[in-house]
Chains A and B, each alone.
Chain A
Amino acid sequence: MSRSIKPYGDTMNDGKVQLSFTLPIEWSEAADEAARQLVVKMGFEDVQVVEGRRIASGFSYFVVYASTPIAVDADTIKAPSAKTHAMSLEEIDAFVHEHIGRRIRIAGACIGTDAHTVGIDAILNMKGYKGDYGLERYHMFETFNLGSQVSVVDFVRFAKEHAIDALMASQVVTQKGSDIKNFTALAELLEAEGLRDRVVLICGGPRVTNLMASELGYDAGFGRGTVPSEVAAFVATTLAGMVHAGR
């Protein structure tokens, strides 16, 4: 059974998409044509350049509508979510009490040179995010917010010295792949220190996906819109599984 889908404009399978981009070229009618041909070469059909104008000397901006001949089979696509165990704050506290029997020690940090603590604060701070209380509010979580610009070495040392159960690394800046480099360095250092199997390792940030996180060796990744209880539920159930398995 397969379910082939295409973008939907106003008719099933019309494949309509909108694109906008800048070309490093002075605007002229030929520039519009260059934009059209570019989109045709991308494989689109029925290409219409609906807007083209100069935005600076030597640069033009275009808005284009086109149809794609490509479809995907929606039923074969897998992107596992880490947000499978929906529980409330009270349920999570009760779960941890029953299955782990002590408070979970969780540390969060913006690693590398990243100074954007908005994600880590949304998950850890009492106030939380979107009306969902942060982990500081949970009875069964002991939280350590290390803040911004924490080196991977310092983060791992902190985890060791404070017997941390779960590490949460955040990256907002993604320029030139700095987020991937930092995430990888953290996973590798934990591995080298022999700690990796003893902790829950998760990452977060607006560009993070769970799929990417698992490829980097993390237990889970949390992207945009994540609320604290989703992270708490994942950490609690994963740690309970580890405790059960005797790790």
Chain B
Amino acid sequence: MELRIDRTLVDRCRDRAAAIVAPVSDFIAAHSTVSVERSILRLLGVDGVGGEEIPVPNMIVDSLSADERARGVGAAFGRALAETGLQPRALGVELAAGRVTLSQFAATPDEAARGATRPFVEAALSRIRSRRVEREECLARLPQLPPPLLYVIVASGNIYEDRTAAVAAAEAGAQIIAVIRSTGQSLLDFVPFGPTTEGFGGTYATQENFRIMREALDEVSERLGRYVMLTNYASGLCMPEIATMAALERLDMLLNDSMYGILFRDINMKRTFVDQHFSRMLNAYSGIVINTGEDNYLTTADAVEQAPAVLASQIINEEFAHRAGMPDCQIGLGDAYEINPDLEDGFLYEVAQAQLARQIFPDAPLKYMPPTKHMTGDIFRGHLIDAMFNLTSVMTNQTIHLCGMLTEAIHTPFLGDRALSLENARYIMNTARHFGDEIALRPNGIIERRAQSVLADCEALLARVADMGLMHAIEAAAFADVSRPPDGGRGFEGVFARADDYWNPFEEALRVAQGDTSGPRGKALV
């Protein structure tokens, strides 16, 4: 099955995206955020919480003066490492307790600070590399079933219940487990600490929860003879910190979108752009596949009308990811099956959109999201709609397949709901495995014309955004009919300009690492 599409139009879309992202990249290069700085501390080994459960990385970054912050926490912390001779974690404890302050070492030369920091930078990157090697070895020894890779969510609020649900889902055929976060977490400007057993609509993302789940999935992977992947959310105000924790605990995928938080969570755009860049540099190095969030354009507005916006967002996400050093095989661009089921030929439009993405991003592990908006309490109808979604996914060779739940509109999935959903997907994908290879699309038929019109409208949208500039275009509600001002939204106070002598030891090291293997690199994970 192949759509005839105008390749020069696709190239023009990518040129437009490059023009859209370039000025934002300049902004990113001149700024940092409190969350990026806290990630640096976490990577160096700082962890734990101080008084009132405030994470030590937050306490340290919040203690910096504006001038110190503008030079980056790396230098100030490095000076303290040099002078005290403590390990980063122990130094963090001393700083949190107030027995040491960073400003007391202001006279220490930069070179000493950098020298004292380097061994810990090396140790962190080495740990991340070894996690990546572990994953590659697991995948070689315990190969996954062919894509679409079946992805389900667990969301009890209690990490130990989630663990039970995740193991059961893996046994029922799931290949990727996502632990949905508690609804409020994206707006927290800190990462909670330790194992957690209470959350709403999901479970808090903490490093310890990551570790607990990874350990359980490793066990079940060995037992099933196939590697089961783990996913969480690098979104919200702590995006780079989550990317850090995920790299250290061998998560395999992360939800990570360049604009989602801006549009749908009212997180400041400058904060998001800076945070997503450093997150993606880390993701690139740790071999983590990102999943972008284009499904959100469809759940909040009409799916037929929003199709060009989905494609435009995919192309912009791709450009941002490339600039952070991510190869195509780690860029899981999103889409969703959200067209109104009552629309005549709606299935044809879904096939058009999914196949269009497949052809425009041939090497990307596309992430396909299930129907949610038109799901009701009628679980029987919901199960049928999910079957059509499953058919579209296998026909168009989607890579990451989030299984729809028949109880989508009712509750966070029961263990039995997940099993039924996985059975539905396994049945459809097995019975129609090579259907897409066997059929040809009618030239100039409904599907092909629809794909061509989405592509043309996408190019027009990207041209408009390029003319306005991305930040102003978002302010003018060019995406999802949502308007966000450049200096509004949550987390703006945590964005700051870099001083001339700003230093991020990990950005520096990751650049060097990326330079060593320039161009598309890395082995395809999936």
Residues of A within 8 A of B (CB): 20-22, 55-59, 61, 112-115, 117-118, 121, 127, 147-149, 173-176, 178, 206, 224-225
Contact yes or no, A56 B168, CB < 8 A: yes
Minimum Cβ distance to chain B for residue A72 (Å): 20
A176–B168 Cα distance when bound, in Å, is: 22
Q: Which of B263-283 contact A (CB under 8 A)?
A: 264-266
Q: Which among B182, B302, B419 is the interface contact of A56 at CB below 8 angstroms?
A: B419
Residue ID in chain A nearest B201 by CB atoms: A173
**Given A56-B167, A206-B377, A224-B377, are A22 and B300 neighbors across the interface (CB < 8 Å)?**
no
A224–B374 Cα distance when bound, in Å, is: 11
Residue B376 interfacial (CB < 8 Å): yes
Residue B416 interfacial (CB < 8 Å): yes
Residue B415 interfacial (CB < 8 Å): yes
**Given A57-B171, A117-B300, are A175 and B412 neighbors across the interface (CB < 8 Å)?**
yes
A118–B300 Cα distance when bound, in Å, is: 6
**Given A22-B414, A55-B415, A118-B300, are A175 and B200 neighbors across the interface (CB < 8 Å)?**
yes
State the total of A-B contacts with C-beta under 8 angstroms: 75
A56–B417 Cα distance when bound, in Å, is: 12
Residue B5 interfacial (CB < 8 Å): no
Residues of chain B within 8 A of A117, CB atoms compared? 300
Which of B171, B201, B266, B299 counts the most A-chain CB atoms under 10 A from its CB?
Answer: B201
Q: Which among B169, B377, B412, B416 is the interface contact of A20 at CB below 8 angstroms?
A: B416
Q: Which among A58, A112, A147, A176 is the interface contact of B157 at CB below 8 angstroms?
A: A176
A225–B377 Cα distance when bound, in Å, is: 10
Residue ID in chain A nearest B419 by CB atoms: A55
Residues of chain A within 8 A of B172, CB atoms compared? 55-56
Which of A55, A117, A121, A127 counts the most B-chain CB atoms under 10 A from its CB?
Answer: A55
Contact yes or no, B373 A118, CB < 8 A: yes
Q: Which among A55, A112, A225 is the interface contact of B416 at CB below 8 angstroms?
A: A55
Residue ID in chain B nearest A57 by CB atoms: B171
Contact yes or no, B300 A114, CB < 8 A: no
Contact yes or no, A178 B200, CB < 8 A: yes
Contact yes or no, A173 B419, CB < 8 A: no
Chain B: how many interface residues by the 8 Å CB criterion?
Answer: 32
Minimum Cβ distance to chain A for residue B303 (Å): 12
A21–B414 Cα distance when bound, in Å, is: 10
Residues of B within 8 A of A (CB): 157, 167-169, 171-172, 182-184, 186-187, 200-201, 264-266, 299-302, 373, 376-377, 409-412, 414-416, 419-420
**Given A21-B416, A178-B200, are A149 and B187 neighbors across the interface (CB < 8 Å)?**
yes
Residues of chain A within 8 A of B409, CB atoms compared? 206, 224
What are 5 A-B contacts defined by CB distance under 8 Å? A55-B415, A56-B172, A56-B415, A113-B200, A175-B411
A110–B511 Cα distance when bound, in Å, is: 42
Residues of chain A within 8 A of B266, CB atoms compared? 147
Minimum Cβ distance to chain B for residue A95 (Å): 29
Minimum Cβ distance to chain B for residue A82 (Å): 19
Q: Which among B200, B373, B414 is the interface contact of A173 at CB below 8 angstroms?
A: B200
Contact yes or no, A59 B200, CB < 8 A: no
Q: Which among B167, B186, B187, B416 is the interface contact of A22 at CB below 8 angstroms?
A: B416
Which of B157, B183, B302, B420 counts the most A-chain CB atoms under 10 A from its CB?
Answer: B183
A112–B187 Cα distance when bound, in Å, is: 12
**Given A22-B415, A56-B169, A118-B300, are A224 and B200 neighbors across the interface (CB < 8 Å)?**
no
Minimum Cβ distance to chain B for residue A128 (Å): 11
Residues of chain A within 8 A of B167, CB atoms compared? 56-57
Minimum Cβ distance to chain B for residue A55 (Å): 4
List 7 additional contacts besides A22-B414, A61-B419; criterion CB under 8 Å: A56-B415, A117-B300, A118-B300, A149-B265, A175-B200, A175-B201, A178-B200
Minimum Cβ distance to chain B for residue A171 (Å): 11
A175–B154 Cα distance when bound, in Å, is: 13
Residue ID in chain B nearest A20 by CB atoms: B416
Minimum Cβ distance to chain A for residue B223 (Å): 9
Residues of chain B within 8 A of A20, CB atoms compared? 416
Minimum Cβ distance to chain B for residue A226 (Å): 12
**Given A118-B300, A206-B410, are A59 and B415 neighbors across the interface (CB < 8 Å)?**
yes
A175–B184 Cα distance when bound, in Å, is: 13
Residue ID in chain B nearest A60 by CB atoms: B416
A58–B169 Cα distance when bound, in Å, is: 12
Contact yes or no, A113 B377, CB < 8 A: no
A22–B168 Cα distance when bound, in Å, is: 12
A178–B200 Cα distance when bound, in Å, is: 8
Contact yes or no, A115 B411, CB < 8 A: no
